[in-house]
Structure 1
């Protein structure tokens, strides 16, 4: 009899049977289904199966969390169901059929902008700093700025524009590169196409409106305006997709022997021509139209209603991943109007959700377990990273999420009502004020006050009534029967070392809800500064991903099992950037090398490098976890077992 026979039979029944499975695969911890009719999956019954630790749906995939034994479970499931598993890429492709056209478009948009966001945030901070030292007149009775009275700061002011110009004027280069990267075509061709859109030979796109005469290429029978697309988003995206589909077409029809010569030429040259004659002008008009509609809504007589709805719904939008679409609109607003009135509301929504968590932290100050989630979630939310707060606290209890939404709505109305405007996208939390134009600082501070006070008060009042004593003070911990001391590692004192060199963070700050909510077990996250995974203790390798090479499970001598999962969603990289040094069943000693990886390739693939280090099978032991320290692989203790 197979190990999971009963659980496998139950899972097949509750997902709707074999006929309801379009594709199935697995990663290190989860079964990944693409279902014909997702509504047929009975999640309540599935989550009651002993081997199942939880379920969730993401990007068209119904994911069933199993844990370290997922490979065994998967093999038994596919054998019993009489179906063949497929690759992760095939599952991902099949999952798209479960998404609406709008979801696929927004998902693609999000994946395109994800690698660009760090540059946009950096550029926003730089512009904010430039304006503090160069645009605010602190001196000479309010007539001179810091750069006016100091040659050093004048030099800094001028120098920083080098970066600001690269980020915002050259944005099409990043967009077209990201599209080619996302679509799997030649990235250098994308970079070259992007450069042709912002060439210094062209009239700068920001100067078109004021230019007395626009230069042209004169071909005799036709003339083409020599207009640059500096800062243009939609035009760059359309040009990028033209290049992608031209390259894919010519790759299919060209013999491989001449492909290296013919495909780049026949892809790039027509793409540049089409970009400047067709999709560039069309994209310019579309981008202007979208930004104008949003701008009109935000400046109309009913702008308060527009702002109230946006502020109310932005946090739920974040949880669906649809918030990425605002990046394109923000960028277009910046390019058209030299600022954005949309982004300040986004920053205020993040602050509001953090304030709801702050109230929960005050309510649960005696609940040490809850505080391990509340405090880091609140800090990260105030600094612009909302996922730990949304998934770890606010959505879990429900009412903090709603209270934060109400506060965000009021703050958004104040922001729009007083005309608050930002130079660009910035850090979406309390530091976001650095991206706000100085003349709006006072009113933005007023909106920030609403985003802090209203959610805090509402959450505190509602929480007093809704939370019981156990939730406020923490459940009583059952006393464990004393057990005979058992060996746990090479260390005699029950210490488990960090497997990777880097900063140890609380589990709740891992940007993945399965890990951050402790579904697979308690543990810590690691922000790697090294590139090697070492054995954290003596034990036996109990599970590895031979194909993707991104994760490893170790069983210690006393039965405790640990999971090391390098990066988030790195299973989709199919092993690129990873090298596995062990196999299932290998005996390892503390400090032995398990995996080496390339952090830069993980980032280039659009994934966080954050590594999960969790206790998936605790046995009869209790554990304590350390975070907030810089750890050395194989040397620094991060988990203590008793």
Structure 2
């Protein structure tokens, strides 16, 4: 398919506004439409790349694409008109990878914990661009200070000339007002008016709030070992803090504002919401934030920062190794967000941060693994992976962003992780040993919150040790990935496990050398116990009409699907409802367990194989629960389709009637053998 039919498909279905949701299975797009009555079936089927269209009850509509369904699905979701639309698929897109990885840890199992980290993530994610931009300004200033062009720009008491002071404001605008940005995002995430949350936090950041500490009635007291300023407000002591760059106070404020907002909307009549819900929310939350929530947030952040500082003080060597080894597991689960907040707090309170240096070892090990994948992709002429790895590596080395590498490559190919962890260890070990030799009590530090990329290396001190550490982390991970490869050993270099379209042919080539057909043809056995019936009896027009290719169907009497011949698993759907195999000899086979069983989302299916597995005749592929499928009302009839019939000569008709798994049913012969057969 030279061009994707994505936009044509959406237009033929009545436009993006008519699409309520979209999912996909192994071969087809599954639309839930608002109104399917006006869809022209013939027009849909006339679109290049569409193999068929299947109207269904309940405003559901299926568009058959075949092996490239994942690509078309992604292209549809990428259409501007489809932003926010679509459901989930069976593929390896970033969202499904994240969901699977989170399910392995506490997220996905403990509801409140999942909600907490989603709250933290969505409070920071929208402002990452601003933070990244500010980090480049910081790096620029650090580089100029290193070159003695300007004085130490971030040291106490240093005054810059107006020109450089103005440049300094370009990053301070982000970090000084960071609490307001976090307050807006967190309030929006929690379901309250984000501008009300912004306004509540803005009160404690006003110059007039700080000026209250200069009043004649202000007092200096000692609390938890710190000297703080309080001033009585209507007889109640108000603690005066500098809330610039603080992130825990706005997070706590939003966490309280959300339930309050919902309560106010319940007790105040609908026609008065616009006026009184914001008023009473501000009336309650401004004093509560200034007197209680704000100070609690300051002390909470300081306490967490002190715990990490104590660990680092006790042993910078251990700290430098543990941090880079922990991050590869924290980032997929979203557990790194609280650490980012502590980094900002360290800079606010200590004037420097000691976490980002060791974290850089993880980031560069991650980027090094991606570089290794890119080198292999160039060598193997894998166009898709070259594009993926190039983009991910650019985002990492230039922007310090690890997510494209992590979700686009590393979590899809599990061989990468052990190699990347070695890079993390080498980088962390270098920092730890270097800190001991150089007598650095806090290890590698930075005076600003930056993204650990090539461009921000000058922001770290000592720059030489940091550059050596991240360089070794990068090189170690890259070399190990290049030496060992990143795909399963059985999986050929040309195959993409998430792209069903490409996997069969490549896998077949690996399985049978040049995909040559044996002299006697390729024998295909029954994958099930049951009764063989014609394909035309399948209650699905796509299979019944032979749109996907010739084959047969089985009404199963058992509960297990077995491999119908030796070969490779090209596509094992995690839902268990469909399997693509490439048998020795190059025959691409689709086994579809039941009709519409993808809607069960894996319930009742126990999958026994994965992409790239080598199987022999009779190996179990999946065990299914007949009761679950029958209770849901889905037919159990299982089509077995030869997808690449055009590449071969003759394909026998399967003998109808009872059959046992492993019984030989059909033979697929080569075109040469078919041509040599005498005509009747």
TM-score interval (norm. to shorter): 0.5 to 0.7
Equivalent residues of 1:124, 1:435 under 8 A apart: no
Q: How many residues align?
A: 410
Post-superposition offset of 1:109: 0.6
Following superposition of structure 1 onto structure 2, how do residues 379-418 of structure 1 map, counting pairs within 5 Å? 379-383=394-398, 384-415=400-431, 418=435
Secondary structure of the residue aligned to 1:451 is: helix
Task: Identify if the C-alpha distance between structure 1 residues 71 and 421 changes in structure 2 by more than 3 Å, giving closer, same or farther.
Answer: farther
CA–CA distance in structure 1, aligned partners of residues 377 and 360 of structure 2: 26
More deviation, 392-401/458-467: 458-467
Cα deviations across residues 396-442 of structure 1 (Å, max 9, x unaligned)?
33222221122112213333552111233323322231432xx4211
Residue 173 of structure 1 deviates from its aligned partner by 0.9
Say which of 341, 345, 361 aligns to 1:332.
345
CA gap of 1:293–1:216, structure 2 versus 1, over 3 A, is closer
Matched, 1:131 2:142: yes
| Deviation (angstroms), 1:88 | 9.0
1:452 to 469, 474, 484: 474
Q: Deviations over 1:108-144 (max 9, x none)?
A: 11011111222222222222222333x33536xxx96
* Pair 619,160 (structure 1): closer, same or farther in 2 beyond 3 Å: farther
1:431 aligns with 2:431: no
| Superposition CA RMSD, Å | 4.7
Counterpart position of 2:204: 197
Query: 1:426 aligns to what SS in structure 2?
Result: coil
> Are the aligned partners of 2:268 and 2:277 in contact in 1 as well (CA < 8 Å)?
yes
- Hey, what does 1:30 align to over in structure 2? 23
1:186-215 deviations in whole A, cap 9, x for unaligned? 222112112112111233999999999865
Q: Aligned partners of 2:494, 2:419: CA distance in 1, in Å?
A: 18
| Shift, 1:333, TM fit | 1.9
Give the deviation of 1:273 after TM superposition.
0.7
Show the 5 A alignment for 1:166-565: 166-203=173-210, 216-219=230-233, 221-301=235-315, 303-369=316-382, 370-383=385-398, 384-415=400-431, 418=435, 419-436=443-460, 439-463=461-485, 470-471=492-493, 475=506
**Deviation of residue 352 (structure 1)?**
1.0
| SS of the residue 1:338 aligns to | coil
CA distance in 2, matches of 1:252, 1:76: 35
Query: What per-residue deviation string (whole Å, max 9, x for no partner) do you get for residues 463-515 of structure 1?
Result: 39975794289946999xxxxxxxxxxxxxxxxxxxxxxxxxxxxxxxxxx9x
Q: Is 1:121–1:426's contact at 8 Å kept on the other side of the alignment?
A: yes
Change (3 A) 1:257 1:144: closer
Q: 1:218 is paired with a residue of what secondary structure?
A: strand
Q: Distance in 2 between matches of 1:132 and 1:209?
A: 40
Contact kept in structure 2, 1:113 and 1:327, CA below 8 Å: no
Q: Deviations over 1:302-333 (max 9, x none)?
A: x4334323312322332333333332222222
* Bigger CA radius of gyration: 2
Q: Distance in 1 between matches of 2:115 and 2:121?
A: 10
Question: Corresponding residue for 1:84?
Answer: none
1:605 corresponds to which residue? none
How much does 1:274 deviate?
Answer: 0.8
User: Structure 1 CA distance, aligned partners of 2:257 and 2:146?
Assistant: 44
Contact 2:415 2:486 in 1 (8 A): no
- Asked if the contact 1:363–1:472 (Cα under 8 Å) also holds between the matched residues in 2, the reply is no
Deviation of the 1:267 alpha carbon: 0.9
- For the residues of structure 2 that align with 1:364 and 1:266, how far apart are their CA atoms? 60
1:46-61 matches, cutoff 5 A: 51=28
1:380 and 1:326 map into 2 onto residues whose CA distance is 21
CA distance in 2, matches of 1:319, 1:387: 9
Where structure 2 has 5 or more consecutive residues not aligned to the other structure, the ranges are: 1-18, 31-49, 62-83, 89-94, 96-102, 155-159, 215-219, 436-442, 497-505, 516-572, 574-642, 647-680
2:221–2:230 Cα contact (<8 Å) kept: no
Which aligned pairs between 1:608-619 and structure 2 lie closer than 5 A?
none
